[in-house]
Amino acid sequence: MIVGAVTTRLEPRVGIKIRNATGKSVTVTATVDTGFNGFLSLNQKAVEFLELAYMSQRPGTLADNSSHEFDVFEAEVDWDGDQRWIEVDSLEGEPLIGTQLLRRYELRIQMYPGGGVWITPPP
């Protein structure tokens, strides 16, 4: 189970450990964003710090409906006790966890400041 909390701005957040191919790692607090259909986003500074391997570029649409080309990198994450290689979109702002990383998991949020966030595999 992955556990987090809701901020005063009503953002559900959880900690996630991210690693590159050589083992360099960092733990970030990421916002769960069910409107983001990727795996994970990190800003360019975090991508550079981790020295993530570049994979490709792909088009995407932001919440304001603007279209952009995003650089995609590869990283390993600790996800509920498992190590998973995922795609990381380089996107300015706070780290986001998207629906691809949530796939096959149950998400429960107490949507008030200080409320809990739980991400669990289905029973």
Q: What is the dihedral of CA 33, 84, 29, 20, to 10 degrees?
A: -130
Domains of the chain: 11-103 (2.40.70.10)
pLDDT of 36-90, one tens digit each?
999 999 999 999 999 999 999 988 888 788 888 999 999 999 999 999 999 999 9
pLDDT of 78-93, one tens digit each?
999 999 999 999 988 9
Q: Read off the pTM.
A: 0.91
Residues 6+ apart with CB under 8 A from 62: 68
User: What is the structure's pLDDT at 73?
Assistant: 97
Q: How far apart are CA 115 and CA 6, in angstroms?
A: 5
Mean pLDDT of 14-35: 96
